[in-house]
Amino acid sequence: MALLEVDRLRVEFPTRRRALVAVDDVSLTVEAGEVLGVVGESGAGKSVTGAAIIGLIEPPGRVAGGEIRFDGRRIDHLSDEEKRRIRGKEIGSVFQDPLTSLNPLFTVGQQLVETILAHSDRSADDARRHALRLLEDVGIPAAAHRIDSYPHEFSGGMRQRVVIALAVCAGPRLIIADEPTTALDVSIQAQIITLLKRLCREQGTAIMLITHDMGVIAETADRVAVMYAGRIVEVGQVRQILRAPTHPYTTGLMDSIPRLGRDDADLAQIDGAMPRLHEIPDGCAFHSRCPHAFDLCRRRRPVLRTTGETAAACFLFDQERSDDRRHRNSR
């Protein structure tokens, strides 16, 4: 049994005219000690999926369908107080801007100690010693001195390390990391990625890593789920998807990545833009940008199905199988 199971999740944001569907029929799993990457353009539904898992969908948004199970227990229908108990102790979170996770009025030590005390039976002195060890573990230099510093006294990269220490201080088994390296320079990104991988290796922590950066996915994740317009369009092992992406959208993402030795000066791009929530077309949401779209793509919405070593939501493979069958029958 997977540590996290999301089954046909649907998240809606009601408006005066109709409900806008931000996440539509999303199913995924995360195993203990695994890093699942969730990748896609802005507006794909990645962050909303993560927020739904940890119970942070702001009203009037709501989970309108599906189930979320953690360690076999359904958690999407729990009360706000029950969800609060799970957050931090069982499921930690790391967000893109660490200043949104840190209170500027308290030292980082005070915030760590408060979180540790809220989720354990440690004494205050023991909690402070644990907080100091955590700051050392995440690479804060002179941690014994910096533990009494305020968030504004840290650089962006150091603040993100503090947020990671906060996320793991109660020993959660799953961390939802939403764009944890986006605002950092490349060298700091590499350090944060190394830190997250070490947490998985040494503590068995599972991580759901949400990002738009395929380079971060390649360096960090074991599996990847590619999202587009609120749905998962492809999922599989990272190595397989990097080597031979199946869905046309995934192929477009891969072709847009700069590569050493590439002769062409211009990067490939996916024409058009992600549709807004009130403009998602019938059929496959990607069909207006897809170079392989045909009539069926405009009329029906494809579902995920196995296509070799990955699963993709695309009619192209049905077409290819039909063409293969016709070709074999004509011989």
27-73 pLDDT, tens digit per residue, is 999 999 999 999 999 999 999 999 999 999 988 999 999 999 999 99
Q: Which of 310, 115, 92, 99 is nearest to 209 (CA)?
A: 92
Whether residue 170 has pLDDT greater than 90 = no
Instruction: Give the separation between CA 207 and CA 200, rounded to whole angstroms.
Output: 7
Long-range contacts of 121-129 (CB under 8 A, 24+ apart): none
Q: Where are the domains of the chain?
A: 4-90+172-258+269-330
What is each CA distance from 33 to 20, 262, 311, in whole angstroms? 34, 36, 22
CA 274 to each of CA 169, 201, 290: distance values in angstroms, whole numbers, following the listed order: 37, 36, 12
Question: Would you state the CATH architecture of domain 4-90+172-258+269-330?
Answer: 3-Layer(aba) Sandwich (3.40)
Task: Determine the Cα–Cα distance for residues 309 and 141; give it in Å rounded to an integer.
Answer: 44
Q: 234 pairs with which residues across the strands?
A: 226, 312
Q: At what angle do helices 186-203 and 156-168 cross, to 10 degrees?
A: 10
**Residue-wise pLDDT tens digits, 130-160:** 999 999 988 899 999 999 999 999 998 899 8
Q: Which tokens sit at 231? A: 């749905």
Q: pTM for the whole thing?
A: 0.89
